[in-house]
């Protein structure tokens, strides 16, 4: 039975991936800041796929990826049954705001860079040594089309995802001799809580982002994560860009 640790499992891609991997017989370590959601997801997964023994298919770790000490303590404290992480899904992340650079909120910049870049580094730094010891493992980073092409007012969010693109390439080089696979999945527009968070809880504004076309769904990304994680050991997808059919890149979406 393999184990995946998923950051940002309380919503969107991470939550859908937790459901998908649990359904496929994996053990899932679900993480995020909202404990109530993690507990509810654990109850759901155990009810669907578990045994009478609670904690058979899922394990909850509640931490903020920006808090390096909390990340280290959580990963180091995993019990023996859970401490062999085969796949790390670095998914936790967010956009905060959409404004020209000269009008941007410096607090928003800190949130995005600390979460999307340093948070990904914090979790990776804590998990990678075990993979190196075992000479196997797979790190899957969720980048974005925003990390391939910059769009108007996307500035710092795009920069954070360009950093994920660079770090994915760097990790693949550094981990090559250790037999650890590294993959980036770079999705385009997907309707999750992403835009609600970006616009500070404004659900109407968030809905407008996906109006007039059929966006990706969280389950689409979960399918792809599962696909790349279950390829034969000699096959590694390096980089996978996926958009809705109505989207060509960061700036071209056809709306009807
Ligand atoms: P959601 O807002 O639905 O989910 C984001 C997840 O990240 C939540 O589970 C949240 O958990 C977690 N998270 C955010 N900040 C932190 C933090 N500081 N510490 C720990 N967990 C955190 O959005 P998506 O599922 O869409 O986003 C997932 C990833 O996909 C992000 O990296 C995003 O940038 C990327 N992405 C999204 C696209 C889209 O169009 N939706 C397209 C391309 C990439 P909690 O709040 O409980 O901590
Ligand atoms: C999320 C996709 O285009 O909203 O990374 O930035 S986009």
DSSP H/E element including 21: helix 12-23
| Alpha carbon of 150 to ligand 1 centroid (Å) | 19
Q: Which is the closest atom of ligand 2 to the Cα of 194?
A: 1
Q: Which of 44, 8, 40, 45 is nearest to 194 (CA)?
A: 8
Q: Of the ligands numbered here, which is closest to the C-alpha atom of 154?
A: 2
Q: Which is the closest atom of ligand 2 to the Cα of 250?
A: 3
In angstroms, the CA 132 to CA 147 distance is: 28
Show Cβ contacts of residue 159 under 8 Å, excluding neighbours closer than 6 positions.
Answer: 113
pLDDT level of residue 226 (50, 70, 90 thresholds): very high
pLDDT level of residue 56 (50, 70, 90 thresholds): confident
User: What positions carry a catalytic annotation?
Assistant: 157
Q: What is the pLDDT of residues 171-219, one digit of tens each?
A: 999 999 999 999 999 999 999 999 999 999 999 999 999 999 999 999 9
Q: Are the C-beta atoms of residues 206 and 199 closer than 8 Å to each other? A: yes
Please state the rounded mean pLDDT for residues 114-134: 99
Q: Record the tokens describing residue 104, joined without a space.
A: 């941007």
Name the DSSP letter for residue 33: S
Q: Which is the closest atom of ligand 2 to the Cα of 144?
A: 5
Please state the rounded mean pLDDT for residues 35-62: 86
pLDDT recorded at residue 54: 55
pLDDT recorded at residue 52: 46
Looking at domain 3-242, what is its CATH homologous superfamily? NAD(P)-binding Rossmann-like Domain (3.40.50.720)
pLDDT level of residue 53 (50, 70, 90 thresholds): low
Show Cβ contacts of residue 150 under 8 Å, excluding neighbours closer than 6 positions.
Answer: 158, 162, 250
- Number of Cβ within a 10 Å radius of residue 158: 21
**pLDDT exceeds cutoff 70 at 50:** no
Q: Ligand 2, atom 5: nearest CA belongs to which residue?
A: 144
Question: Is there an atom of ligand 1 within 6 Å of 209 CB?
Answer: no
Average pLDDT across the chain, whole number = 97
Question: Is there an atom of ligand 2 within 6 Å of 243 CB?
Answer: no
**pLDDT exceeds cutoff 50 at 72:** yes
Q: Ligand 2, atom 6: nearest CA belongs to which residue?
A: 146
Question: Is there an atom of ligand 1 within 6 Å of 224 CB?
Answer: no
Residue 67 φ then ψ, to 5°: -95, 95
Say what the pTM is. 0.98
Q: Of the ligands numbered here, which is closest to the C-alpha atom of 143?
A: 1
- Number of Cβ within a 10 Å radius of residue 231: 13
pLDDT recorded at residue 126: 98
Place of tokens 């609670």: 54
């Amino acid at each position: 039975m393999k184990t995946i640790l998923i950051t940002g499992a309380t919503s969107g891609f991470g939550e859908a991936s937790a459901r998908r991997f649990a359904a496929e017989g994996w053990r899932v370590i679900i993480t995020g800041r909202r404990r109530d959601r993690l507990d509810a997801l654990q109850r759901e997964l155990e009810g669907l796929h578990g045994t009478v023994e609670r904690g058979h298919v899922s394990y909850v770790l509640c931490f903020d990826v920006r808090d390096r000490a909390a990340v280290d303590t959580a990963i180091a404290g995993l019990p023996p049954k859970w401490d062999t992480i085969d796949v790390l899904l670095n998914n936790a992340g967010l956009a905060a705001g959409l404004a020209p650079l000269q009008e941007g909120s410096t607090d928003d910049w800190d949130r995005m860079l600390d979460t999307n870049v340093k948070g990904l580094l914090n979790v990776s730094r804590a998990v990678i040594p075990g993979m190196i010891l075992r000479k196997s493992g797979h790190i899957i980073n969720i980048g974005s089309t925003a990390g391939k092409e910059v769009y108007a007012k996307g500035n710092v969010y795009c920069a954070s995802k360009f950093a994920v693109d660079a770090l994915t390439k760097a990790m693949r080089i550094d981990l090559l001799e250790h037999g650890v696979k590294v993959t980036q999945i770079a999705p385009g527009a997907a309707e999750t809580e992403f835009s609600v968070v970006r616009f500070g809880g404004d659900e109407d504004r968030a809905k407008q982002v996906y109006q007039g076309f059929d966006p990706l769904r969280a389950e689409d990304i979960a399918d792809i994560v599962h696909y790349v994680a279950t390829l034969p050991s000699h096959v590694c997808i390096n980089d996978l860009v996926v958009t809705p059919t109505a989207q060509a890149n960061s700036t071209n979406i056809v709306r009807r």
